[in-house]
Structure 1
Amino acid sequence: MSSLTSDAKVTRTYFLYPLERSPDALSPEEYEQKFLEAIAESFRAFRSDHVPLPEVVFKDTKVARRFFGIERMLHSVFAKLFPSYLMNVAASCPYQDVRQEILKDCWDEEVADPDAQGKSHIEVLYGDVAVMGIPQEEVENFEPTPVLMACMHALDNMTRTLPWQGGYAAMGGLEAARVAVARGYMRREEDAITASHGGRSVEQLCGVPEGSIKLWRLHASKDLTHGEDCLKVLKKYCTTREIQQLTFWAVKTARSLRVITNREQRRIAMAAIGLPADSLIVT
């Protein structure tokens, strides 16, 4: 796990406001606790698995491969844009140590993650959907639905228009959900990615070799690393109560937007296996 340097490295091309902590600001330790509590609260209030997995997914491995393959394919819309959101934050942040952490995250996503045998994360995703019978061409030709694009534009807007701390809280906070689980702020089963599989892995449901679907396991590790780094940054640079409150709102809002996209992914996956999927609940 990378560590932040103790002294801020800065460029001189930006006006830099003082980093002294305002009298009414939470201490770094209090802030970290409140931030992780905000993540846990957002998971409990608005879940991705409100619609249970269709029974046929548990009974037919071919149907399961199509269902989960489509879900993973739809995740590529967010996966391709996530590094751009992070770079929006880096572009507006004057502190070199912060930009370094963001660029390390982007390197794993976009270029070559040493924990993924030197592949980028989108390459890993392509491999996952191929295991489930969906060729890369189908992934590339998928046209995002208006719901998916509305959420993607909202996340992009947050990282462009909020102060950089708010944008980083929104994006890095998605990764910091793993930190909230690791530190006991929420139970592992409250992470809806695995909570609705009836105790069975996706590989078991799909009838493919265990460990052949790699991206979620990879993110379980990398999100913990990058989530910890995000927390270190926010603890250091969120020095006013106003900015602190903004970051709590930002992480909860980003999480809600991702829940809506996850629900849309499930809706489309259900349609892909011939099940009714005419409604989307977004509250």
Structure 2
Amino acid sequence: MTPIDTIPAPGQATDGIRASRRGFGLALAGLSGLLALDAGTAHAARPASAGHGIKNAVLVHGAYADGSCWSDVIGRLQRAGLNATAVQNPLTSLADDVAATRRILDLQDGPTVLVAHSWGGTVISEAGVHPKVASLVYVAARAPDAGEDFASLAARYPKPPASAGLVHAGGFAQLSEAAFLEDFAGDIEPARARVLYACQGRIADTLFDARTTEAAWHSKPSWYAVSTNDRTISPEFERFLAARMKAKTIELRASHLSLISHAREVSDLIIEAAA
């Protein structure tokens, strides 16, 4: 048994308990602070998020390219929580490219942001009326109105240097290596640009002759990224197209391949359109 004279008096016991409680409270406060700090650090390390908006992005490449040109953007979109899918356009006709895009749209499980580069803008202007498309993003892209003679419209603006580098053979065309490296991918590291050149899609000679029957940008909210150093589409023409569709517009000091040289900015624009 504990001797009676070792038992603390009631006031002493209360003071001891209070001291213990104070120590325990301080420990909890310190632990809470550490947890809050850890949570804040973890939050800061997370990539930009698409929030609670659109969860799908379908990416349409342009002429002289293929779906792999979206690789840097796709990785960023995936880290932001978006389900990203690149279309592989046959580049044989507008109808064929639109059909390829619609097949991918049909596979999406909900609202989708439809994104295009270059010639792909013609494709999404037609395919963008698909019921799953909630918004459109144009990256240095064409954006024709329904039934418009787009070549005549483009002729009002300075002729881009890349067009002089087209090489035709067997009903198809591609850019020469010099035109690809200097005019199409002018701000891409040369070794990578040569890989992209080797992967470029050959376009049918008649690809650009087709006219759209729809202009989805009339009915869907749109975003546009202008490439101010573009030598494949005139930057002035890009600005006109963006203004005409009343698109939320950014300007990038980039070549035609801003989706590679400025992948972060292009990804952020797509995430904004999704959110």
TM bin (shorter chain) = under 0.3
TM-score (norm 1): 0.24
TM-score (norm 2): 0.24
| Greater share of helix | 1
| Greater share of strand | 2
| Higher RCO, Cα 8 Å, sep 6+ | 1
